[in-house]
């Protein structure tokens, strides 16, 4: 059950809408919105593949510039 | 007590009168240290004596606690037991985890012994039987768990004689080999180099009392 | 606390993400609680070229434990004891934590600015007064890909010199040249799966049991599962590998060059070759012979296209008539009957034959030739590019492949198999680096042995050594150390502990190690493995990439490294990756590596890995139906080289009657700077010994543990004897490992090197031995 910490960079205009969009998704918890359009979130999924799919999908969200992986826990929980 | 004095050839009274203070003092001084590093309880109360030591109780009477074997040892492996050894105070002891016996081929300790507590007839260091190494914790042994360790085997001065490796398939990974160190008691001299080199915090291979051979008719 | 473990992990993940953007104030709830538990991250092991995967357990900003990664395909949760104690390797008491600048005989603490300003001023001065080739950098097969890439771009694209060398010159260079001149591309066509799938394994001078521990475990398991499997150990010394082999074939040092030719002779004589394979896939070549040994300074020897003659198969067969099994026996010591038998094994159609080798073949004054000859065996018989049947060149260091070779941190190389001498390659490189192609020098730089000799001649004014210990590991060591001690060159050393190299530095820089920085390594089987930074380095230590970029800025070259502070490692990777696209060495986007326990290149369009190169079975650069295709070689034909026998640089004689060889053992890594500081490993093997054959020992009156003096024409060392231990040299040979910083073994070694690879021969020199 992998857990990741991610940083989503958005255009400053869309940061709030993106944050809302993220919060709606299963397996994503928004932990903070920072100046310069950056959102810190935690992603959980059942498998690494599911997690990869989830995170890749985020880059499709309108207003998202990039998604950066900052932390990944590999422990079997 | 009287009988023992006869066997040792020097009476206890004579010893106490004649012997220099030094070995005893050394022993008492060493006592504080040696009690910290005393053999673990699971050694079954076994004391590792220098090469050529005559057996058990005979040793305690034969040994005159002169300390010459300890002085002769070039590695400082032989220490004199302290107060915690009771009647064994001042007798030579090897604590492998500190310093094992390095099997000097010219047997300086044996040659130094004046009383025959270390048998002067001993000529070949490989014939020594100080004790038998035993793996006391197979569950912790890294080699048995499948990791590449086997340090005790590679460092054994009688590699492939006293310790060999038995290999078997690792059923957990299905792709690797378990290389288990196996001690052969008739070849093991009990030097304790294996115990000293074990990489785990508490060594899983330790020198204990001699394991006796027992044979039956099966020849495989 | 009321928080579950999962909550701890999530809080920690968020905390890491906040930290990544430099916003420590916004700590989510429970982050402190998260620190109370251990969190795990993946990494490849810091040590050998096997590339086991490990999980690193971090708590309160410190590595508290590591374990073999059960999900790692290489090792499935296993490690050797070096890997077992990874958690201790970074925590020796004398970790370097501050920059130090030499003032007379003392090293004085300084700030990073002071140190970097000084280094830059020295380099600038040297370059302006003596030109860019008066400065150099010596890096490592233990550098991360990012570190090697930045170093290469800095030196070649920025300063404009090719005086950049890795310590891999001392380990894999012969293998590299062998790959390049045979297949036109570096690195193996097979992978570790071949160890599971084959049935015949011939080791050429490789003590796999101790040098590639977990891989050896995997090989032996194949043997246990399949009674048909045969392991043959051809070596100059009996080792723990010998013990588990089916057969030991003792060979005289340097005898591989003769034995291999003898085997090929038999294969040709008895028509044991695969005729159609040869017709389709092979060209025959003859190169330059009567090569020197590099013992004269600046001795130039190259095998240019003009030096190479194409041969017909018949011409090749005619030339090979010389090397009869009887002749091979007289030179190698391997009986003629055994040479014949090996020829039959290599051509046995019912067997899947693999050859395995490392330093016995590579650290050899004709190492490239031996690599070529081993490939000849597989090419002539068609036993190559098949699952379970390949020649596999084993790599020594964790990223000699990933960094030194693939990034090309050599005096003649550029990334992705390109070379500085080729104009098109320079142009492509300049394009990706965003520089004028004219900036990259077409002049090959100084290779390692020559580089350190140039210091002696005062031609190198500045050298920066990172992540390696040349003043313990170079051959003819006293000469090298003396040159450094003359204090003519300005020597900068980046390392994590004081070593025999830092002790000769003008500036010492404290480096981050392993998981104290983000990075990527590439192992023997082309498996690229990535890891995230998991802990901070101690004190003021900084990762080598940072050091190089800070230096670059002071050299006016900062524009070459426009990477963001937080995304630097990924950005470097994505830039580097461009070199590999479409070359058959394709690498994946960075994100792909963060998720898995490595991927073997070339990466296919669908993102999956390739196990076997050059075959339509797996390599997508080969179309279905094409079978085997050496698409990187000119004309798609691999080269079978005619390589004759030429003797070693120095052989035993009356004055120095013994062979001396050096190498590794399981418990210690290389020069022992890390493993020597792990108390358990130090306890296991406290110091180096000299191994002698028992009969030699008896003759010399040497008993086990007696002190022995070993002397060569270059130096002398005293070591305790080890007789009938883990290794027994053949009569007339002695062996000592080089991990002991108190016993500089390499003072004995000769700085003769292979003329094509420039790799020194650490395995053969002449010594005298007597009781000390």
Q: Does residue C366 share a domain with residue C489?
A: no
Average pLDDT over every residue of C242-257: 98
Give CA angle at C747 (C741, C748), nearest 5°.
120
Distance CA(C627)–CA(C532), nearest Å, equals 40
**Region class of C364: left (phi > 0), else alpha (psi between -120 and 50), else beta:** beta
pLDDT at C408: 96
pLDDT at A24: 86
Whether residue A59 is predicted with pLDDT greater than 90 in this model: the reply is: no
- Binned at pLDDT 50, 70 and 90, residue A33 comes out as confident
Distance CA(C86)–CA(C10), nearest Å, equals 26
Domain harbouring C32, CATH code: 3.30.200.210
CB C469, CB C671: distance < 8 Å: yes
Nearest to B63 by CA among B73, B76, B74, B49: B49
- SS3 assignment for C369-419: HHHHHHHHHHHHHCCCCECCECEEECCCCCCHHHHHHHHHCCCCECCCCCE
CB C658, CB C734: distance < 8 Å: yes
Strands C353-357 and C309-311: unpaired
Q: What is the pLDDT of residues C217-228, one digit of tens each?
A: 999 999 999 999
Task: Extract the tokens encoding C405.
Answer: 């070779």
Q: Is residue C680 part of a domain?
A: yes
Cβ-defined contact of C77 to B173 (cutoff 8 Å): yes
Q: Which residues of C284-314 are buried (b: 16+ CB within 10 A; e: fewer)?
A: bbbbeeebebbeeeeeeeebeeeeeeebebe
Q: What are the residues facing C716 on neighbouring strands?
A: C711
Q: Does residue C444 share a domain with residue C356?
A: no
Distance CA(B133)–CA(B189), nearest Å, equals 8
Chains that touch C (3 or more CB pairs under 8 A): A, B
Distance CA(C583)–CA(A71), nearest Å, equals 32
Cα separations (Å) of C552 from C100, C362, C429, C546, C720?
20, 34, 19, 10, 47
Q: Does residue C355 share a domain with residue C220?
A: yes
Task: Extract the tokens encoding C475.
Answer: 């051959």
**Which residue in the set A32, A52, A73 is minimally distant from C13, CB to CB?**
A73
Q: Does residue C177 share a domain with residue C150?
A: no
- Cβ atoms within 10 Å of C444's Cβ, excluding its own: 17
Residue C725 per-residue DSSP state: S
- Binned at pLDDT 50, 70 and 90, residue B113 comes out as very high
**CA distance to partner chain C, nearest, from residue A67 (Å):** 10
Chains A, B in contact, 3 or more Cβ pairs below 8 Å: no
Q: What are the residues facing C391 on neighbouring strands?
A: C355
Distance CA(C713)–CA(C111), nearest Å, equals 43
- Binned at pLDDT 50, 70 and 90, residue C29 comes out as very low
Q: Does residue C29 share a domain with residue C147?
A: no
Q: Which residues of B20-41 are buried (b: 16+ CB within 10 A; e: fewer)?
A: eeebbebbbebbeebeeebbee
pLDDT at C81: 95
* Chain A contact present for C71, CB below 8 A: yes
- Binned at pLDDT 50, 70 and 90, residue A70 comes out as low
Q: Does residue C533 share a domain with residue C669?
A: no
CA atoms within 13 A on the CB side of B27: 25
Distance CA(B92)–CA(B113), nearest Å, equals 11
User: pTM, whole model, 2 decimals?
Assistant: 0.88
Nearest to C512 by CA among C484, C545, C489: C545
Q: Does residue C428 share a domain with residue C301?
A: no
- Chain centroid to CA C277: 32
Q: Is residue C597 part of a domain?
A: no
Task: Provide the residue range defining the domain that includes C739.
Answer: 658-749
Domain endpoint, select from C57, C89, C121: C89
Whether residue A15 is predicted with pLDDT greater than 60 in this model: the reply is: yes
C14 vs A28, residue with greater confidence: A28
Q: Is residue C200 part of a domain?
A: yes
Q: Strand runs (DSSP E) across C192-279, as ranges? A: 200-204, 230-235, 237-238, 247-250
Domains and CATH numbers, chain B: 12-127 (no CATH), 132-208 (3.30.70.20)
Q: Which residues of C577-603 are buried (b: 16+ CB within 10 A; e: fewer)?
A: bebbeebbbbbbebbbbbbbbbbbbbb
- Binned at pLDDT 50, 70 and 90, residue C21 comes out as low
Q: Is residue C362 part of a domain?
A: yes
Domain harbouring C517, CATH code: 3.40.50.740
Cβ-defined contact of C17 to A71 (cutoff 8 Å): yes
CB C730, CB C694: distance < 8 Å: no
Domain harbouring C708, CATH code: 2.40.40.20
Distance CA(C495)–CA(C513), nearest Å, equals 9
Q: Does residue C438 share a domain with residue C347?
A: no
Split into its structural domains, chain C has a count of 4
Q: What is the pLDDT of residues C581-629, one digit of tens each?
A: 999 999 999 999 998 999 999 999 999 999 999 999 999 999 999 999 9
Chains that touch B (3 or more CB pairs under 8 A): C
Domain harbouring C236, CATH code: 3.40.228.10
Q: What is the pLDDT of residues C109-155, one digit of tens each?
A: 999 999 999 999 999 999 999 999 999 999 999 999 999 999 999 99
Domain endpoint, select from C26, C55, C89: C89
Q: What is the pLDDT of residues B141-197, one digit of tens each?
A: 999 999 999 999 999 999 999 999 999 999 999 999 999 999 999 999 999 999 999
Q: Is residue C277 part of a domain?
A: yes
B/C interface, count of CB pairs below 8 Å: 95
Lowest-confidence region among B127-136, B211-220, C472-481: B211-220
**CA distance to partner chain A, nearest, from residue C532 (Å):** 7
Cβ-defined contact of B173 to C76 (cutoff 8 Å): yes
Q: What is the pLDDT of residues C332-363, one digit of tens each?
A: 999 999 999 999 999 999 999 999 999 999 99
User: What's the mean pLDDT when you consider all of chain C?
Assistant: 95
Whether residue B5 is predicted with pLDDT greater than 90 in this model: the reply is: no
Q: Does residue C551 share a domain with residue C503?
A: yes
Task: Extract the tokens encoding B62.
Answer: 């034969």
Cα separations (Å) of B82 from B25, B88, B89, C647?
9, 8, 5, 63
Rounded to the nearest 5°, which phi and psi values hold at C609? -95, 170
- Chain centroid to CA C239: 22
Q: Does residue C351 share a domain with residue C433?
A: no
Q: Is residue C94 part of a domain?
A: no
Strands A64-73 and A3-10: antiparallel
Q: What is the pLDDT of residues C627-664, one digit of tens each?
A: 999 999 999 999 999 999 999 999 999 999 999 999 99
Interface residues of chain C, partner chain B, Cβ below 8 Å: 68, 75-81, 84-85, 196, 213-214, 216-218, 220-221, 224-225, 240, 243-244, 665-667, 680-681, 683-685, 703-705, 724-726
Q: Does residue C119 share a domain with residue C143?
A: yes
Q: What is the pLDDT of residues C507-538, one digit of tens each?
A: 999 999 999 999 999 999 999 999 999 999 99
Q: Beginning with the edge strand found earlier in the chain, give each strand of the sheet holding C62-68 in spatial order.
A: C39-44, C53-59, C62-68
Distance CA(C134)–CA(C288), nearest Å, equals 31
CB C732, CB C652: distance < 8 Å: yes
Task: Extract the tokens encoding B194.
Answer: 């294996």
Give CA angle at B37 (B32, B38), nearest 5°.
90
Domain endpoint, select from C521, C536, C562: C562
Residue B148 per-residue DSSP state: B
Q: Is residue C427 part of a domain?
A: yes
Q: Is residue C694 part of a domain?
A: yes
Q: Does residue C328 share a domain with residue C252?
A: yes
């Amino acid at each position: 059950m992998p857990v990741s910490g991610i940083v989503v960079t958005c255009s400053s205009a869309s940061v709030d809408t993106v944050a809302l969009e993220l919060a709606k998704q299963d397996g994503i918890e928004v932990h903070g919105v920072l100046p310069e359009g950056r959102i810190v979130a935690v992603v959980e999924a059942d498998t690494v593949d599911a997690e990869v799919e989830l995170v890749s999908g985020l880059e499709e969200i309108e207003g998202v510039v990039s998604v950066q992986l900052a932390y990944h826990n590999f422990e079997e929980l | 007590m009287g009988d023992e004095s006869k066997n040792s050839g020097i009476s206890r009274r004579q010893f106490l009168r004649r012997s220099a203070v030094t070995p005893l003092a050394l022993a008492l001084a060493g006592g504080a240290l040696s009690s910290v590093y005393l053999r673990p309880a699971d050694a079954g109360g076994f004391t590792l004596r220098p090469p050529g030591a005559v057996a058990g109780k005979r040793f305690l009477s034969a040994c005159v606690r002169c300390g010459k074997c300890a002085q002769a040892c070039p590695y400082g492996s032989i220490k004199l037991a302290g107060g915690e050894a009771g009647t064994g105070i001042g007798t030579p002891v090897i604590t492998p985890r500190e310093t094992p016996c390095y099997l000097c081929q010219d047997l300086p300790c044996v040659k130094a012994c004046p009383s025959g507590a270390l048998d002067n007839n001993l000529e070949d260091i490989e014939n020594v039987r100080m004790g038998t190494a035993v793996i006391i914790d197979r569950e912790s042994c890294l080699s048995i768990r499948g990791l590449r360790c086997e340090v005790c085997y590679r460092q054994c001065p009688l590699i492939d004689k006293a310790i060999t490796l038995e290999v078997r398939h690792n059923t957990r990974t299905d792709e690797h080999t378990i290389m288990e160190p196996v001690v052969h008691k008739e070849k093991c001299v009990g030097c304790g180099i294996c115990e000293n080199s074990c990489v785990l915090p508490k060594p899983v291979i330790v020198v204990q009392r001699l394991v006796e051979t027992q044979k039956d008719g099966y020849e495989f | 606390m009321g928080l579950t473990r999962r909550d701890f992990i999530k809080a920690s993940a968020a905390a890491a993400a906040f930290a990544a953007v430099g916003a420590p104030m916004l700590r989510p709830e429970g982050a402190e609680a998260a620190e109370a538990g251990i969190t795990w991250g993946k990494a490849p092991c810091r040590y050998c070229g096997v590339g086991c995967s490990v999980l690193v357990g971090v708590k309160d900003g410190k590595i508290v434990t590591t374990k073999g990664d059960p999900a790692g395909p290489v090792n499935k949760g296993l490690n050797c004891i070096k890997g077992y104690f990874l958690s201790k390797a970074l925590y020796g008491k004398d970790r370097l934590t501050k920059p130090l600048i030499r003032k007379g005989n003392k090293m004085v603490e300084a700030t990073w600015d002071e140190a970097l300003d000084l280094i830059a001023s020295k380099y600038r001065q040297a370059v302006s007064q003596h030109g860019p080739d008066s400065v150099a950098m010596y890096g490592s097969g233990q550098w991360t890909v990012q570190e090697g890439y930045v170093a290469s771009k800095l030196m070649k694209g920025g300063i404009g010199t090719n005086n950049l060398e890795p310590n891999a010159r001392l380990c894999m260079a012969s293998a590299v040249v062998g790959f390049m001149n045979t297949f036109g591309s570096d690195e193996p066509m097979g992978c570790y799966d071949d160890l599971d799938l084959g049935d015949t394994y011939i080791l050429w001078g490789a003590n796999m049991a101790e040098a590639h521990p977990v891989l050896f475990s995997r090989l032996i398991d194949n043997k246990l599962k399949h009674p048909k499997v045969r392991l043959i150990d051809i070596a100059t010394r009996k080792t723990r590998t010998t013990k588990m082999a089916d057969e030991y074939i003792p060979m005289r040092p340097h005898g591989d060059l003769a034995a291999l030719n003898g085997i090929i002779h038999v294969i040709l004589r008895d028509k044991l070759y695969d005729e159609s394979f040869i017709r389709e896939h092979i060209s025959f070549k003859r190169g330059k012979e009567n090569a020197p040994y590099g013992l004269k300074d600046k001795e130039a020897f190259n095998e240019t296209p003009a030096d190479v003659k194409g041969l017909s198969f018949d011409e090749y067969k005619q030339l090979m008539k010389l090397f009869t099994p009887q002749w091979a026996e007289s030179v190698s010591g391997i009986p003629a009957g055994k040479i014949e038998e090996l020829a039959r094994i290599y051509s046995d159609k019912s067997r899947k034959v693999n050859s395995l080798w490392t330093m016995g073949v590579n650290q050899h004054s004709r190492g490239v030739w031996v690599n070529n000859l081993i490939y000849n065996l597989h090419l002539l018989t068609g036993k190559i590019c098949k699952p379970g049947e390949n020649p596999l060149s084993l790599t020594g260091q964790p990223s000699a492949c990933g960094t030194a070779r693939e990034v090309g941190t050599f005096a003649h190389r550029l990334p992705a198999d390109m070379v500085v001498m080729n104009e098109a390659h320079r142009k492509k490189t300049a394009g990706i680096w965003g520089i004028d192609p004219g900036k990259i020098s077409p002049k090959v730089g100084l290779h390692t042995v020559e580089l350190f000799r140039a210091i002696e001649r005062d031609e190198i004014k500045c050298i920066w050594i990172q992540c390696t210990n040349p003043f313990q590991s170079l051959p003819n060591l006293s000469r090298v150390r003396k040159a450094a001690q003359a204090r003519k060159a300005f020597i900068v050393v980046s390392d994590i502990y004081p070593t025999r190299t830092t002790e000769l530095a003008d500036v010492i820089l404290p480096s981050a190690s392993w998981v104290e920085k983000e990075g990527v390594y590439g192992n023997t089987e082309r498996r690229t493995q990535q890891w995230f930074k998991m802990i901070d380095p101690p004190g003021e230590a900084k990762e080598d990439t940072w050091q190089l970029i800070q230096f670059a800025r002071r050299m006016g070259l900062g524009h070459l490294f426009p990477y963001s502070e937080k995304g630097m490692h990924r950005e470097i990777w994505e830039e580097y990756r461009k070199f590999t696209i479409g070359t058959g060495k394709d690498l994946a986007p960075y994100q792909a590596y963060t998720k898995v326990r490595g991927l073997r290149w070339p990466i296919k369009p669908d993102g999956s890995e390739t196990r076997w190169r050059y075959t339509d079975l797996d390599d997508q650069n080969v179309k279905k139906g094409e079978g085997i295709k050496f698409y990187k070689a000119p004309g798609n034909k691999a080269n079978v080289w005619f390589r004759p026998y030429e003797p070693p640089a120095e052989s035993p004689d009356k004055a120095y009657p013994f062979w001396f060889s050096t190498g590794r053992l399981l418990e210690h890594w290389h020069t022992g700077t890390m493993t020597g500081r792990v108390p358990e490993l130090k306890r296991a093997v406290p110091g180096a010994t000299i191994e002698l054959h028992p009969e030699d020992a008896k003759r010399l009156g040497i008993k086990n543990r007696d002190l022995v003096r070993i002397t060569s024409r270059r130096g002398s060392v005293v070591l305790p004897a080890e007789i009938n231990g883990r290794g027994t040299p053949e009569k007339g040979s002695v062996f000592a490992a080089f991990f002991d910083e108190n016993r500089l073994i390499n003072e004995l070694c000769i700085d003769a090197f292979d003329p094509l690879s420039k790799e020194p021969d650490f395995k053969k020199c002449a010594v005298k031995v007597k009781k000390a």
